[in-house]
Amino acid sequence: MAELYDIIIGPENIEIKVYLLEEEHIDRVYAMEVESYPDAWSRELFLPEINNRAGKFFVFFIEENLIGYSGYWLGGDEAHITKFTVAPPLRQRGLGTLFMNYLFEQVKKEGAKKILLEVRENNLPARCLYEKMGFQTIGTRIGYYVRTRENAVVMVRYLNDDIDEEHI
């Protein structure tokens, strides 16, 4: 059994349990991944995220149900988001905002001064969420997503305490 990493309080005071990714979570994470991304990671790509010393990979649960997952890698004072997913039936209820604020807190504790990510150019829900959370576009990677040949928009959010208070 995975060890509980943290508890966060979600909308309507619901208790959300946070674990670091373990092998026992992979089937459920992979099922949500396939449902969520046209260029889904293979099951194998998740394995190095277990016990990854260069970052963390969180899985979020309400009771026994996986409700989302999110990972990052750290390099110097930079955190790079690798995955950011909310379970399809629970989207547009504030969970994405909650998980992103949680990531901000976690990476700041590890000394990150900025957080970077790539997002598919046509992924409007994610781009709207990131903009709302203070990310700025800093570039485009042409044809970054090999399977769909879509461009990636690169975004950055500086982790400044004054700015963060506006978003929590």
Q: Which of 94, 111, 139, 143 binds ligand COA (CB under 6 A)?
A: 94
- Whole-angstrom CA distances from 21 to 44, 57, 99 are 13, 6, 15
On whether the CB atoms of residues 67 and 86 are closer than 8 A, the answer is yes
User: How far is 28 from 66, CA to CA, in rounded Å?
Assistant: 7
State yes or no: residue 115 binds ligand COA (CB under 6 A): no
Which residues, at least 6 apart from 7, have a Cβ–Cβ distance to it below 8 Å? Answer: 15, 16, 17, 18
Q: Which of 96, 103, 134, 150 binds ligand COA (CB under 6 A)?
A: 96
Q: Which of 92, 142, 146, 147 binds ligand COA (CB under 6 A)?
A: 92
- C-beta of 47: minimal distance to ligand COA in Å? 20
Count the site residues for ligand COA by CB under 6 A. Answer: 20
User: How far is 123 from 85, CA to CA, in rounded Å?
Assistant: 12
Residues 129-158: x where in contact with ligand COA by CB under 6 A, - otherwise, as a string: x--x--------------------------
